[in-house]
Amino acid sequence: MGYAIGVDVGGTFTDVVLRGPLGEVTVAKCLSTPYDPIAGIANGVTRVLTGVDPALVTRVVHATTLATNAVLERKGVRVAYVTTQGFRSVIPLGRYARVEEDRYDLRFTPPPPPVAAGDCFEVVERVSARGVVLTPLDLDSVRRAAAEIARRGITSAAVCLLHSYANPDHERQVAAILRESVENVVTSSEVWPEIREYERATTTIMSAYIGPLMASYLSRLGERLASLGVHAPVHVMESSGGVISAELAARRAVAMIESGPAAGVLAAAGSGFANVISFDMGGTTAKTCVVRDGRPEITHEFHVGGKGSFGGRRAGTGVPIKTPAIDLAEVGAGGGSVAWLDAAGALRVGPHSAGSDPGPACYGLGGSEPTVTDANLVLGYLSSASIPLSAPLADKALDRLAGPLGVSRAAAAHAVHEIVSASMASAVHVVTVQRGIDPRGYALVAFGGAGPMHAARVAERFGIGTVVVPAHCGVASAAGLLVADLSTDRVLSRLDAADPSEVFGALAASAAEDLGVSPSDPGVRVSRSVDVRFKGQSHDLTVAWSSARAELEARFFERYEQVYGISQRGEVEIVSYRVRVTLPATDGPAVTHVPVASSGPVGARLAYFAELGGYSEVPVHTRDTLAVLSGPGIIEDAESTIVVPPGWTAALGPARAVHLTEEPHEQ
């Protein structure tokens, strides 16, 4: 067993985690280098490898926000879109959902389409919903499009023809001709052959848009690591939480869009509890996800660049992507979120964030607006442990709220803390209650810079009695990469296929080929599921496959009741078939357990707890001094601060995780 490296590149920090043969962990947190992320990675890798022979590294696993950022910042390559005659306006017209304030905004203009109207091309052909050719493909029309695309110097093309999930033949022919003159050609039947032309097209377009960037980035990353002496294969995390080889990632770039957030969820999944809610709160956003029986929930559609609202990413406001992704809810609030008074004098928090420049007022970098971090400092939750924070500047910032509100500084700070905790709770609500899941009985796993400060308060809102703060909670995503399985997915839409086993077989073989394995290899897991709906309904639910129809229906009815609360029966039909092929990661050794050297608290300070009527002096521990702590109290380490409110007890658990448990209430 050699060394494994996990690399997570975030907006502010690049985290690198090295796990040695004995489970020893070395962590490096470096500033990200947005102009060239590889520089930051090389810096971190060099630091963790100090004193280690790079040749002993056997695996590098990488989570990257490159794909997301390219989409959000519109920095992908120019794409030509090729579709069925009569449909070139469909992408420019878009399917924007007008929600919330958009509805009353006469000056609202839909966001620009992912491909320019002038770069949309048509070919003469038509296939029916059953895959029957209604109009044969006119090859001349394809050649005309190809010539024009090449003449414009466009090097990447996305092909999405109507009903190509039912019959991909025309798309294949179009691609073959385009490839003679266009460098990068992606077809919808390869990328994600699922019914609904708009989402299939945007998924294909995004693949063409970011694929070339991803390919060049990953190849440069491989070269840079080699120059450091690391020749181990590079794996990249997919949105769905599996990892695939760098070569495959370059081809399936669209599956990497949620690469970064997925890694954190895997860390939560590895916390030792079967059912957990991961809670990752950083500077500008917070993300939640449910892990059931050790497996993160998966969604089959998400929107990148959409509006967040009430904890969910609002469908219809971003670019829809159909490839599977870990089902995260995200809210635009974090430690840097600014608190403000609106026109009617009400206190609001976010979505504007002070970011890292100028940062919260207490950073002393020129910020003066009150942020969540400033409020937490005023409340005594934070101190200047790792970075120097200015209490007078935080006080001054909070006074900008307290004055107009006519309340004390502490009351204003406490209100900010409460509002943010409720925002966080809304993200938990989306992934649990709204999905028909009762969060009680789940453990909340908190990480990210601000997560452990708010975790117990969020848990209280749902009657969640256990909070876990893992060791290395500040670099949890990078650590999570080291436990990721090799895995990839396939789908095919086909209304009640005559021979499901044939469909599954083909999908599994194709997915396995991507991973370089065979479905029958020992250790390889093939999971099959289907999208089922009541005949006449339009929305479907994904359930585990069973070849016994009665069993399949029973699973669907049960899932239906769980999601909608309706015990409905009726004729059902299968819309799509899904396969996920997984080669489990070889279990690395557990993180070395340092024996608890229990001693007294390292200090004490005044902290604000509403149930105690205000400020009181509470003990401050570090993980090293913690055995058992009855709240109120505070546990600080280099990466984060854990607030233990009254009624909660903190103890050091396995793998140096801190476990918080709430004492049962007397009702």
Partner 1 sequence: MSSDVLTAEVLRNALVVAAEEASIVVVRSAYSTFIVEGSDASAAVLDARGRLIAHSMATTLMNSMALKVALPELIRDVPLETMRPGDVYVLNDAYRGGVHTNDLLVYRPVFVGDRPAYFAATMIHVSDLGGLSAGGMAPLATDIFLEGLQLPPVRLATSGGLEPAVEAILRANSRTPDKVMGDVRALVAGTAVAAARVGALVAEYGAEGLAAGIDDYLDYTEARTRTALADLPEGRFEASYPIDDDGIDHERSHDIRVAITLERHLSDGAGQRSSEDIEPQSPEVIAEGPETRVPGRPETGGPETGRPWSPEMRVPGVPEMRVVVDFAGTGPQVPAAINASASQSLAAAVFAVRCFLDPTIPMNDGCLRAIEVRLPEGSLLNARSPYPCGGRYVPIYAAMEAIFQALSDAVPERAIAPSGILQPFSIAAVGAPYWIHLSYDFGGVGARQGLDGPDATGVHFGIGRNSVPQAEPVESRCPLVVESIETIPDSGGPGRHRGGLGSRTVYRFLADCHVTTRGDRLRLAPPGRDGGLPGRLGGFFKRHLDGTVERLASKMNNVRFAAGEAFVVETTGGGGMGSPHERDREAVLADLAAGHITERGAQEDYGLTRRPDPVS
Residues within window 444-473 making contact with partner 1, judged by CB under 8 A: none
Q: Is 111 in the site for partner 1 (CB under 8 A)?
A: no
Which residues between 230 and 289 bind partner 1 (CB under 8 A)? none
Contacting residue, 39, 52, 77, 97, with partner 1 by CB under 8 A: 97
Binding mask 43-82 for partner 1 (x = CB under 8 A): ----------------------------------------
Q: Judged by CB, which is closer to partner 1: 74, or 98?
A: 98
Q: Is 418 in the site for partner 1 (CB under 8 A)?
A: yes
Q: Judged by CB, which is closer to partner 1: 493, or 625?
A: 493
Total number of residues that touch partner 1 (CB under 8 A): 83
Contact residues for 111 (Cβ-Cβ < 8 A; gap 6+): 94, 96, 305
Contacting residue, 534, 556, 577, 648, with partner 1 by CB under 8 A: 534
What 8-state DSSP symbol labels residue 26? E
Beta strands in 95-224 (DSSP E): 120-123, 126-127, 133-135, 156-160, 184-187
Q: Is 405 in the site for partner 1 (CB under 8 A)?
A: yes
Which residues between 584 and 613 bind partner 1 (CB under 8 A)? 610
Q: Judged by CB, which is closer to partner 1: 424, or 486?
A: 424
What is the nearest approach in angstroms of partner 1 to the Cβ of residue 95? 4
Which residues between 141 and 180 bind partner 1 (CB under 8 A)? 152-153, 162-163
Q: Is 419 in the site for partner 1 (CB under 8 A)?
A: yes
Q: Where are the alpha helices (DSSP H) in 337-387?
A: 372-378
Which residues between 543 and 582 bind partner 1 (CB under 8 A)? 560, 563-566, 568, 570
H or E, element range at 552: helix 549-564
Q: Is 615 in the site for partner 1 (CB under 8 A)?
A: no
The 10 Å Cβ neighbour count of residue 554 is: 13
Which residues between 188 and 227 bind partner 1 (CB under 8 A)? 195-198
Question: Judged by CB under 8 A, which stretch of 92-100, 210-218, 273-281, 366-374 contacts partner 1?
Answer: 92-100
d(CA 216, CA 233): 16
d(CA 432, CA 476): 22
Closest CA to 327 of 287, 289, 285, 276: 289
Q: Judged by CB, which is closer to partner 1: 158, or 658?
A: 158
H or E, element range at 627: none
At 186, is the secondary structure helix, strand, or coil? strand
User: Which is it for strands 57-63 and 3-9: parallel, antiparallel or unpaired?
Assistant: parallel
Contacting residue, 52, 99, 177, 517, with partner 1 by CB under 8 A: 99
Contacting residue, 31, 55, 117, 612, with partner 1 by CB under 8 A: 117
Q: Is 134 in the site for partner 1 (CB under 8 A)?
A: yes
H or E, element range at 104: none
Q: Is 104 in the site for partner 1 (CB under 8 A)?
A: yes
Q: Is 365 in the site for partner 1 (CB under 8 A)?
A: no
261-277 b/e (C-beta count within 10 Å ≥ 16 → b): bbbbbbbbbbbbbeebb
By the 8 A CB rule, do 481 and 7 touch? yes
What is the nearest approach in angstroms of partner 1 to the Cβ of residue 406? 6
Beta strands in 293-442 (DSSP E): 295-296, 298-299, 302-304, 308-309, 312-313, 319-321, 325-326, 329-331, 337-341, 347-353
Q: Is 107 in the site for partner 1 (CB under 8 A)?
A: yes
Contacting residue, 2, 23, 54, 92, with partner 1 by CB under 8 A: 92
Question: Judged by CB under 8 A, which stretch of 204-212, 247-255, 352-360, 407-415 contacts partner 1?
Answer: 407-415
Place of tokens 């109507």: 162
Axis crossing angle, helix 37-48 with helix 197-227, rounded to the nearest 10: 50
